[in-house]
Structure 1
């Protein structure tokens, strides 16, 4: 395929950005310190800045002493005020967009502020950085001669204040795309922001199969649903028969490991490029900067200042943080961010480890709490405990032990959560127990509810009744009886559940 002039121009512009990226790779600590002081200065006259005496801050040490660590619960009251229309509380410029994310122990959903600076200088800049890395590596790319297929959610006006809006982060960004990006993206904005997922997928497929799609952007679980529908609709054996110039898939949101083999079958091309991104509702943090790199490059000049809490010392908002220059490779850290949207020393709940400190590259290792996030559902232990309790109340059951893990898509099947539950009192009906468990999780977690919609990404949970003393036997095999040892309630991989299922098969009920 000939490289057209527009493609050459865009690729050249993207490679120009790479020189600026090299600056923070070579001077990471100076860049981060400059950024922190810039953020503090800009917010000095906000309500938050006055409350914590930002005008007196001239160093990281001052910042640590002046501003306490935060989580969503500690910021919720201020965020709720902004959602109702108040301004200049956490950040000086107007905030009318909020990224809706899965909830905490006290609420079904979180609404994270997204400022204009966060959109332009963090999220969009992160997108450009991704393309800069790609163009620096693939010099003969023809990606910009075609369309980027982007999968996103939808946005909704705030029922209490119609001048503010919330939605999936992807939808917030689509709403604010510059015209020149939208011209090279598919589907169009009207389709991209549709709320009903089943209809949206159909319309995206109908449009995209007629276009020259050269790149894919989105969460693997949903992208897999869309790609399979493309093959069903066209009768093609693989995606290259539909989109012969496809060359890049940028993915994030959940671990790609369970999905890689399926995408390699869908896209049988040896030099096809997969790049991982760490783009959360709170910010665009890191990007896989080369095809072969282990971990993702922490982006240090995109409007976010970083601190870290060693997980061996983690005590929530009472923790001690360390700056970037003190981190060590292969240590598990909780990540703390200060952003250009007014999240000050905010514990996001993710844990990371550094695969490299020159430059700083990270891998996501999990959450500060037990969780399952194989399909973007972000199921936390509090959700599981409350749902189990409700299922017991409704079915007269008593649960002794349980654990849950993801069940990954196979063939045309959706994924699910697979549970093993040991009852001290069996439910009146196990199917009713499964139904109440599922319904309760939908009520408690908006991301789980979205993924369960019409079984498109998640089907109903699979619940196995454990044989008596199954968990006791497992702990005994592991030498973990007594003391503080316990069976993890949730796992984001299948190691534990496969061990339990094998042990279950040894003796049947």
Structure 2
């Protein structure tokens, strides 16, 4: 395997020169990309409706094509799912990525074209390895196998020909991987794509414990469950006793900060690397490109054209949408994309901040609809995760999951925030944990701090410590186990918190 590792790492390094091209010429690459996808889609129903043929620049594009939400796109997508073609994109659409629906209560189905699979998702996976190898040229990750913790897929029942499918984006990618990729990954495809998440964890734990795993890719929450089960089955103290050559965890979907200490206990090695990605149902957007960094390089040549709406514009009828060269550092933007799968000026519901413009690097700051703003405090997911991480660090606590919601003003009672946290290791004093969380929120969010001064509008947060397995059982009850399904971190309603509190009674 040593020779194989040498050959593959050499091949992966070669791609880095292409990455450097868009890093050095971001505006030219994005402008050229916009023209290419408009040209490709000019004869589609959508392209003819907005006369893509005559659009020559970003200003014309944004003045002619409105920003779309998923609800506005759904009539087109439903027709695609029923077997119609050439509506949003000229290539045949046979795959749909099923989103967890975290921006609204129901699942979303995102078309995935052959071009998006090859030039976005697959390219993103290869670039992730290229960037990692560029940072760690002596890596040995190809001396073993990569463990993929993915989801499942099924036949699209809306298609009368049964010729199309939908599933978690990880499952869509796995099902369409080239044959050679099977030689460097584990578990077997049959196991990886099982529908029942509980059975899958058990099968994976038995199967992959016999393999030399050197790298893991997945969502932190489900990866933790798998590692814990393997350690239990093998009667070991930690996963390094099973996989001594484990080198890196490629993670995404949720912020890693609150889970870092738990991973360190499961993988007690100072040489273990944690590498972040920004890969969603709609596309592969960003990759960490520097050691010990929380910034993500915005990937600009994946068939995705980017626009950015300042969050203060979101409630307006005609929000201002900025091109890449118009953004400012440190501001919150909602990300709008046009893609080689036929999403046109689509608001994906994520908010980001730019940390660098040379090259363009970003941090994910939250969701446009995942926040608490019942009292003008505008607490976003990024705030919550920073506060949780600080409270854990200061008290030695380790969390598994959490969610929070407002406590609305009532007669004679002030408002506040109510948190439900499932601890892997509880703090010695929950009051101190609560105080640190509250103080951190006040430090990083001036709006929250203003409402907390002398308890003017908000009292100190209420924190409930949930029993082990609470969130797992809640997700199971909702049919949301596995894949791309994630616990909603924040909600501006009490839907999730009240449901969980009923389970905890």
TM range (shorter): 0.7 to 0.9
Cα pair distance change 1:305/1:377, threshold 3 Å: farther
Alignment equivalent of 1:410, drawn from 418, 424, 435: 424
Q: Is it true that 1:93 corresponds to 2:107 in the alignment?
A: no
* Pairing of 1:397-476 with structure 2 (within 5 A): 403-405=417-419, 407-410=421-424, 449-451=479-481
- Aligned-partner Cα distance in 1 for 2:77–2:229: 39
Residue 289 of structure 1 is matched in structure 2 by: 289
The runs of 5 or more residues in structure 1 that have no matched partner are 389-398, 413-417, 419-437, 462-486, 495-509
| C-alpha distance 251-450 of structure 1, shift in aligned 2 (>3 A) | same
Residue 131 of structure 2 corresponds to: 133
Q: CA deviation at 1:315?
A: 2.4
| 2:47 corresponds to 1:49 | yes
Is the Cα contact below 8 Å between 2:402 and 2:487 reproduced in 1? no
CA RMSD between the two structures: 3.5
Give the aligned length.
422
- Name the SS for the 1:183 alignment partner: helix
Aligned residue for 1:393?
A: none
Pair 121,260 (structure 1): closer, same or farther in 2 beyond 3 Å: same
Q: Deviations over 1:214-267 (max 9, x none)?
A: 000000000000001111011111111100110010000001011011111111
2:61 is matched with: 63
Q: Distance in 2 between matches of 1:105 and 1:292?
A: 30
Partner of 1:179: 179
Q: Give SS of 1:204's match.
A: helix
Is the contact between residue 451 and residue 458 of structure 1 (CA under 8 Å) also seen in structure 2?
no
Report the TM-score, using the length of structure 1 for normalisation: 0.76
Partner residue in 1 for 2:395: none
Whether the aligned pair in 2 keeps the contact of 1:98 and 1:166 (CA below 8 Å) is yes
Runs of at least 5 residues in structure 2 that lack an aligned partner in the other structure? 372-379, 386-398, 427-433, 435-470, 498-505
**SS of structure 1 residue aligned to 2:237:** coil
User: What SS does the aligned partner of 1:38 have?
Assistant: helix
**Contact 1:147 1:185 (8 Å CA) reproduced:** yes
Cα distance, 1:408 vs. partner? 4.2
Partner of 2:119: 121
Normalising by structure 2, report the TM-score: 0.77
In the other structure, the counterpart of 1:227 is: 227
Distance 1:379 1:405, change over 3 A: closer
2:5 alignment partner in structure 1: 7
Aligned to 1:298: 298
Q: Is the 8 A contact 1:370 1:490 kept in 2?
A: no
2:330 is the alignment partner of 1:330: yes
Distance 1:137 1:105, change over 3 A: closer
Q: Is the 8 A contact 1:102 1:377 kept in 2?
A: no
* 1:37 equivalent among 32, 35, 39: 35
SS in structure 2 of the partner of residue 305 of structure 1: strand
SS in 2 for 1:61: helix
Equivalence for 1:423: none
Give the whole-Å Cα distance in 1 for the aligned partners of 2:177 and 2:477: 24
Per the alignment, in what secondary structure is the counterpart of residue 268 of structure 1?
A: coil
8 Å CA contact retained: 1:149, 1:216: yes
Cross-structure match for 1:27 = 25
In structure 1, the residue matched to 2:74 is 76
Q: Is the 8 A contact 2:55 2:61 kept in 1?
A: yes
